[in-house]
Amino acid sequence: MFIAHLPAGYLLTRWLQKKLKTEKFLWVGLLGSILPDIDMLYFYLIDDLQTLHHHYWTHVPLLWIALWIVMAIVTKLLKNRTAFMLTMIIFPNLLLHFALDSIVGDIGWLYPFVDYDFSLFTVPATHNFWVWSFVFHWTFLLEIAIVIAAIVGLYKHRHSTS
């Protein structure tokens, strides 16, 4: 995924806000939708592109699922509704990130128990610059559809509240 993480996070967060009956914390959902890619800083600035960034700890779904479970339990036990809502917005967005990455990128959904990366489709290297291989692959249309859906959703939201 190149361009759809943030728009998809917007769509999911708006849906979660309706379920949680709140208009708050949009920024938390947006942050969660892109947070795993913070590892790109390490990838480019320190690792010198040696390790695929999907193999860093920020892209280990079971880590985030475990943290989600702990946070949900703790916030419920503490009866802290605000913290619970934050938990129920950020973690689904993190998992959405991995689901989107799994369309054409390898994600270790069961790591560290199973050392196998899952991907729905493989993008063949059809261009010299690897990005173009992804942009001209049919799956990029999914990203465009997500972006359009988010733009339509944003437009509807702005016009329903004004």
pLDDT for 24-64, tens place per residue? 999 999 999 999 999 999 999 998 888 888 999 999 999 99
Read off the amino acid at residue 84. Answer: F
Report how far residue 105's alpha carbon sits from residue 123's, in angstroms, rounded to the nearest whole number: 9
Rounded alpha-carbon distances, angstroms, from residue 148 to 36, 45, 87: 23, 32, 27
HSE-up of residue 59 (Cα within 13 Å, Cβ side): 23
- pTM > 0.85: yes or no: yes
Residues making up the chain, counted from first to last: 162
Count the neighbouring beta carbons within 10 Å of the beta carbon of residue 139: 13
Share of the chain above pLDDT 90, in %: 91
User: 140-160 vs 5-20: helix axis angle to the nearest 10?
Assistant: 40
